[in-house]
Amino acid sequence: MDIIKRLDTPHKRVDAVIDTDAFNEVDDQFAISYLLRSADRINTVALYAAPFSFPHINTERGMEESFREINLLLDIMNIKKDVFRGSTGYLPDESTPVISEAARDLASRAMAYTAESPLYVIAIGAITNVASALLLNPEIAERTVIVWLGGHAHHFGKTDEYNMRQDIAAARVVMSSAAPLVQLPCNGTVSAFYISCDELRCRLLGKNELCDHLAQYVIEAMREQEGKDWTRVLWDVTAVGWLLNEGERFMLSRIEKTRLPDYAGNYEGEPIEKPMRYVYHINRDPLMNDMIDKLTK
Protein backbone atom coordinates (compact mmCIF):
# COMPACT_ATOMS: atom_id res chain seq x y z
CA MET A 1 0.00 0.00 0.00
CA ASP A 2 1.34 3.44 -0.93
CA ILE A 3 2.88 5.27 2.05
CA ILE A 4 1.10 8.52 1.14
CA LYS A 5 -2.28 6.77 1.25
CA ARG A 6 -1.42 5.46 4.69
CA LEU A 7 -0.84 9.05 5.82
CA ASP A 8 -4.50 9.97 5.28
CA THR A 9 -6.64 10.59 8.36
CA PRO A 10 -8.52 7.36 9.11
CA HIS A 11 -12.21 7.33 8.19
CA LYS A 12 -13.19 4.36 10.33
CA ARG A 13 -12.65 3.18 13.89
CA VAL A 14 -9.01 2.22 14.35
CA ASP A 15 -6.79 0.59 16.96
CA ALA A 16 -4.14 2.72 18.66
CA VAL A 17 -1.50 2.68 21.36
CA ILE A 18 -0.25 5.79 23.12
CA ASP A 19 3.34 6.33 24.26
CA THR A 20 3.34 9.04 26.91
CA ASP A 21 5.62 10.71 29.48
CA ALA A 22 2.47 11.23 31.52
CA PHE A 23 4.08 12.73 34.64
CA ASN A 24 6.21 15.25 32.78
CA GLU A 25 3.62 18.01 32.28
CA VAL A 26 -0.13 18.68 32.52
CA ASP A 27 -1.09 18.05 28.90
CA ASP A 28 -0.48 14.29 28.70
CA GLN A 29 -3.38 13.68 31.07
CA PHE A 30 -5.71 15.66 28.80
CA ALA A 31 -4.49 13.72 25.75
CA ILE A 32 -4.98 10.33 27.42
CA SER A 33 -8.44 11.30 28.66
CA TYR A 34 -9.48 12.67 25.27
CA LEU A 35 -8.25 9.48 23.61
CA LEU A 36 -10.15 7.20 25.97
CA ARG A 37 -13.30 9.33 25.66
CA SER A 38 -13.08 8.99 21.86
CA ALA A 39 -13.63 5.23 21.98
CA ASP A 40 -16.29 5.42 19.27
CA ARG A 41 -13.50 6.28 16.82
CA ILE A 42 -10.31 5.01 18.46
CA ASN A 43 -9.89 1.68 20.25
CA THR A 44 -6.99 2.12 22.67
CA VAL A 45 -5.32 -1.27 22.98
CA ALA A 46 -2.32 -0.36 25.17
CA LEU A 47 -0.59 2.52 26.91
CA TYR A 48 3.20 2.83 27.22
CA ALA A 49 5.13 4.83 29.81
CA ALA A 50 7.79 6.92 28.07
CA PRO A 51 10.97 8.12 29.80
CA PHE A 52 11.75 11.75 30.54
CA SER A 53 14.39 13.52 32.56
CA PHE A 54 15.29 16.80 34.22
CA PRO A 55 18.31 17.72 36.36
CA HIS A 56 16.38 16.53 39.44
CA ILE A 57 14.86 13.38 37.91
CA ASN A 58 16.53 10.64 35.87
CA THR A 59 14.96 8.70 32.99
CA GLU A 60 14.14 5.63 35.07
CA ARG A 61 12.27 7.62 37.68
CA GLY A 62 10.58 9.69 34.96
CA MET A 63 9.30 6.53 33.29
CA GLU A 64 8.13 5.01 36.59
CA GLU A 65 6.29 8.20 37.56
CA SER A 66 4.65 8.20 34.11
CA PHE A 67 3.62 4.56 34.59
CA ARG A 68 1.97 5.44 37.90
CA GLU A 69 0.31 8.52 36.43
CA ILE A 70 -1.23 6.50 33.57
CA ASN A 71 -2.67 4.01 36.06
CA LEU A 72 -3.99 6.80 38.30
CA LEU A 73 -5.85 8.30 35.37
CA LEU A 74 -7.30 4.92 34.37
CA ASP A 75 -8.49 4.43 37.96
CA ILE A 76 -10.22 7.82 37.96
CA MET A 77 -11.93 6.95 34.67
CA ASN A 78 -12.71 3.38 35.87
CA ILE A 79 -11.19 1.92 32.70
CA LYS A 80 -9.08 -1.23 32.37
CA LYS A 81 -6.30 -1.20 29.77
CA ASP A 82 -2.92 -2.84 29.26
CA VAL A 83 -0.16 -0.54 30.56
CA PHE A 84 3.53 -1.25 29.99
CA ARG A 85 6.69 0.20 31.44
CA GLY A 86 8.99 1.81 28.90
CA SER A 87 12.74 2.31 28.72
CA THR A 88 14.85 3.51 31.62
CA GLY A 89 17.27 5.34 29.33
CA TYR A 90 17.61 6.84 25.87
CA LEU A 91 19.07 5.17 22.78
CA PRO A 92 22.88 4.96 22.99
CA ASP A 93 23.08 5.21 19.19
CA GLU A 94 20.91 4.79 16.10
CA SER A 95 21.39 1.02 15.91
CA THR A 96 20.87 -0.20 19.47
CA PRO A 97 17.38 -0.57 20.99
CA VAL A 98 16.63 -0.05 24.66
CA ILE A 99 14.78 -3.17 25.73
CA SER A 100 11.59 -2.61 27.72
CA GLU A 101 8.11 -4.07 28.18
CA ALA A 102 6.69 -1.32 25.99
CA ALA A 103 9.16 -1.84 23.13
CA ARG A 104 8.66 -5.60 23.19
CA ASP A 105 4.89 -5.24 23.26
CA LEU A 106 4.80 -2.85 20.30
CA ALA A 107 7.28 -5.00 18.32
CA SER A 108 4.98 -7.99 18.84
CA ARG A 109 1.51 -6.41 18.90
CA ALA A 110 1.91 -4.55 15.61
CA MET A 111 2.48 -7.82 13.74
CA ALA A 112 -1.27 -8.51 14.00
CA TYR A 113 -1.95 -5.49 11.73
CA THR A 114 -1.46 -4.76 8.04
CA ALA A 115 -0.65 -1.81 5.79
CA GLU A 116 -4.35 -1.62 4.93
CA SER A 117 -5.44 -1.75 8.60
CA PRO A 118 -2.47 -0.44 10.59
CA LEU A 119 -1.94 0.07 14.29
CA TYR A 120 -1.73 3.80 15.02
CA VAL A 121 1.06 4.76 17.42
CA ILE A 122 0.41 8.07 19.18
CA ALA A 123 3.70 9.29 20.63
CA ILE A 124 3.73 12.35 22.89
CA GLY A 125 7.13 12.18 24.54
CA ALA A 126 10.69 11.17 23.79
CA ILE A 127 10.21 8.52 21.12
CA THR A 128 12.63 5.97 22.61
CA ASN A 129 10.12 3.14 23.04
CA VAL A 130 8.87 3.40 19.45
CA ALA A 131 12.37 3.58 17.98
CA SER A 132 13.40 0.58 20.05
CA ALA A 133 10.42 -1.43 18.78
CA LEU A 134 11.36 -0.58 15.18
CA LEU A 135 14.96 -1.66 15.81
CA LEU A 136 13.78 -4.88 17.46
CA ASN A 137 11.40 -5.70 14.61
CA PRO A 138 11.70 -3.55 11.45
CA GLU A 139 8.71 -5.41 9.95
CA ILE A 140 6.30 -3.36 12.05
CA ALA A 141 7.08 -0.29 9.93
CA GLU A 142 4.74 -1.71 7.28
CA ARG A 143 1.98 -2.30 9.85
CA THR A 144 1.92 0.98 11.77
CA VAL A 145 1.37 4.71 11.36
CA ILE A 146 3.29 6.87 13.84
CA VAL A 147 1.76 10.17 14.97
CA TRP A 148 4.40 12.12 16.89
CA LEU A 149 4.32 15.44 18.68
CA GLY A 150 7.96 16.46 18.43
CA GLY A 151 10.32 19.10 17.09
CA HIS A 152 9.43 22.68 16.19
CA ALA A 153 7.91 24.03 13.00
CA HIS A 154 10.30 24.16 10.05
CA HIS A 155 10.04 27.95 9.86
CA PHE A 156 10.75 28.36 13.57
CA GLY A 157 14.51 28.03 13.26
CA LYS A 158 16.19 25.64 15.69
CA THR A 159 14.33 22.48 16.62
CA ASP A 160 15.70 22.21 20.15
CA GLU A 161 12.36 20.89 21.41
CA TYR A 162 12.01 18.81 24.58
CA ASN A 163 10.55 15.59 23.12
CA MET A 164 13.06 15.63 20.27
CA ARG A 165 16.22 16.74 22.05
CA GLN A 166 15.94 14.15 24.84
CA ASP A 167 16.58 11.35 22.35
CA ILE A 168 17.70 12.65 18.96
CA ALA A 169 18.95 9.19 17.99
CA ALA A 170 15.43 7.80 18.50
CA ALA A 171 13.89 10.66 16.52
CA ARG A 172 16.25 9.97 13.63
CA VAL A 173 15.50 6.23 13.73
CA VAL A 174 11.75 6.75 13.60
CA MET A 175 11.79 9.57 11.06
CA SER A 176 14.09 7.72 8.65
CA SER A 177 12.33 4.35 9.03
CA ALA A 178 9.84 2.91 6.55
CA ALA A 179 6.98 3.65 8.96
CA PRO A 180 4.55 6.39 7.84
CA LEU A 181 5.03 9.44 10.06
CA VAL A 182 2.75 12.33 10.97
CA GLN A 183 4.68 15.14 12.67
CA LEU A 184 2.96 17.72 14.85
CA PRO A 185 5.60 20.41 15.52
CA CYS A 186 5.43 22.28 18.82
CA ASN A 187 6.42 25.97 18.60
CA GLY A 188 5.06 27.52 15.45
CA THR A 189 2.15 25.07 15.07
CA VAL A 190 0.78 23.27 18.13
CA SER A 191 1.59 26.27 20.33
CA ALA A 192 -1.77 27.63 19.12
CA PHE A 193 -3.64 24.99 21.16
CA TYR A 194 -3.93 26.63 24.57
CA ILE A 195 -6.58 26.67 27.30
CA SER A 196 -7.34 29.67 29.49
CA CYS A 197 -7.90 29.92 33.23
CA ASP A 198 -11.50 31.02 32.59
CA GLU A 199 -12.20 28.00 30.37
CA LEU A 200 -10.84 25.64 33.01
CA ARG A 201 -12.92 27.20 35.76
CA CYS A 202 -16.13 27.70 33.78
CA ARG A 203 -16.17 24.67 31.49
CA LEU A 204 -14.38 21.92 33.44
CA LEU A 205 -14.36 22.50 37.20
CA GLY A 206 -17.36 20.89 38.89
CA LYS A 207 -18.43 18.83 35.86
CA ASN A 208 -17.17 15.45 37.06
CA GLU A 209 -14.25 13.84 38.91
CA LEU A 210 -12.11 13.58 35.78
CA CYS A 211 -12.62 17.23 34.83
CA ASP A 212 -11.82 18.38 38.37
CA HIS A 213 -8.63 16.30 38.33
CA LEU A 214 -7.47 17.66 34.97
CA ALA A 215 -8.36 21.28 35.67
CA GLN A 216 -6.66 21.29 39.06
CA TYR A 217 -3.45 19.96 37.48
CA VAL A 218 -3.24 23.01 35.26
CA ILE A 219 -4.37 25.49 37.90
CA GLU A 220 -1.75 24.20 40.35
CA ALA A 221 0.92 24.34 37.66
CA MET A 222 0.03 27.98 37.01
CA ARG A 223 -0.32 28.97 40.69
CA GLU A 224 2.31 31.71 40.35
CA GLN A 225 -0.07 33.49 37.93
CA GLU A 226 -2.86 33.71 40.52
CA GLY A 227 -4.84 36.90 40.12
CA LYS A 228 -3.81 37.34 36.48
CA ASP A 229 -5.23 36.08 33.22
CA TRP A 230 -3.19 33.24 31.75
CA THR A 231 -3.24 30.42 29.19
CA ARG A 232 -1.49 27.07 29.09
CA VAL A 233 -0.64 25.08 25.96
CA LEU A 234 -2.05 21.54 25.91
CA TRP A 235 0.38 20.32 23.27
CA ASP A 236 -0.25 16.58 23.39
CA VAL A 237 -3.99 16.72 22.75
CA THR A 238 -3.34 17.57 19.10
CA ALA A 239 -1.73 14.19 18.41
CA VAL A 240 -4.99 12.50 19.39
CA GLY A 241 -6.90 15.14 17.44
CA TRP A 242 -5.16 14.17 14.21
CA LEU A 243 -6.84 10.74 14.25
CA LEU A 244 -10.21 12.53 14.51
CA ASN A 245 -9.41 15.10 11.83
CA GLU A 246 -11.90 14.10 9.13
CA GLY A 247 -12.49 16.95 6.71
CA GLU A 248 -9.55 18.84 8.27
CA ARG A 249 -11.89 20.11 10.97
CA PHE A 250 -9.17 20.31 13.63
CA MET A 251 -5.95 20.96 11.73
CA LEU A 252 -4.33 21.46 8.35
CA SER A 253 -1.44 19.38 7.04
CA ARG A 254 0.48 18.59 3.89
CA ILE A 255 2.71 15.88 2.46
CA GLU A 256 6.36 16.84 2.24
CA LYS A 257 9.78 15.24 2.39
CA THR A 258 11.09 14.34 5.83
CA ARG A 259 13.59 16.66 7.50
CA LEU A 260 15.76 14.88 10.05
CA PRO A 261 17.08 16.60 13.18
CA ASP A 262 20.83 16.80 13.67
CA TYR A 263 22.61 16.55 17.01
CA ALA A 264 23.06 20.31 17.29
CA GLY A 265 19.35 21.15 17.58
CA ASN A 266 18.68 21.95 13.92
CA TYR A 267 16.94 20.29 11.01
CA GLU A 268 19.38 19.02 8.41
CA GLY A 269 19.64 21.27 5.36
CA GLU A 270 18.45 18.69 2.83
CA PRO A 271 15.40 16.50 3.46
CA ILE A 272 15.44 12.77 2.81
CA GLU A 273 13.20 11.31 0.09
CA LYS A 274 10.73 9.69 2.51
CA PRO A 275 7.33 11.46 2.41
CA MET A 276 5.67 12.40 5.71
CA ARG A 277 2.57 14.31 6.78
CA TYR A 278 3.45 17.66 8.33
CA VAL A 279 0.83 19.52 10.39
CA TYR A 280 1.18 23.27 9.91
CA HIS A 281 -2.00 24.79 11.41
CA ILE A 282 -4.29 23.99 14.35
CA ASN A 283 -7.98 24.97 14.30
CA ARG A 284 -7.96 25.69 17.99
CA ASP A 285 -11.64 26.28 18.83
CA PRO A 286 -13.20 23.21 17.12
CA LEU A 287 -10.60 20.91 18.68
CA MET A 288 -10.98 22.50 22.11
CA ASN A 289 -14.77 22.22 21.97
CA ASP A 290 -14.65 18.57 20.94
CA MET A 291 -12.24 17.73 23.75
CA ILE A 292 -14.27 19.57 26.40
CA ASP A 293 -17.55 18.05 25.18
CA LYS A 294 -16.11 14.56 25.58
CA LEU A 295 -14.44 15.21 28.93
CA THR A 296 -17.60 16.65 30.48
CA LYS A 297 -19.93 13.82 29.46
| Overall size of the chain counted in residues | 297
Which H or E run includes 136?
helix 128-136
CB 85 within 8 A of CB 129: no
In this structure, are residues 97 and 138 in contact, taking their beta carbons and an 8 Å threshold?
no
pTM comes to 0.97
pLDDT for position 158: 87
Residue 213 lies in a domain: no
Total Cβ atoms within 10 A of residue 7 = 18
33-75 pLDDT tens trace:
999 999 999 999 999 999 999 999 999 999 999 999 999 999 9
Position 19 in a domain: yes
The CATH number that applies at residue 105 is 3.90.245.10
Residue-wise pLDDT tens digits, 216-275: 999 999 988 888 889 999 999 999 999 999 999 999 999 999 999 999 999 999 999 999
Could you tell me if 37 and 73 are in contact, meaning their C-beta atoms sit under 8 angstroms apart? Answer: no
Residue-level pLDDT at 142: 97
Q: How large is the average pLDDT for residues 171-195?
A: 98
Q: What total of structural domains would you count in the chain?
A: 1
276 part of a folded domain: yes
Give the domain range for residue 150. 3-193+234-295
Long-range CB contacts (< 8 A, 24+ apart) of 113-118?
A: 113/15, 113/143, 113/144, 114/143, 115/1, 115/6, 115/142, 115/143, 116/1, 117/14, 118/6, 118/14, 118/143, 118/144, 118/145, 118/180
In-domain check, residue 207 = no
pLDDT, average across residues 80-99: 98
At 226 the pLDDT is 81
Residue 133 falls inside a structural domain: yes
User: What pLDDT was estimated at residue 66?
Assistant: 98
Domain membership flag for residue 208 = no
Residue 100 lies in a domain: yes
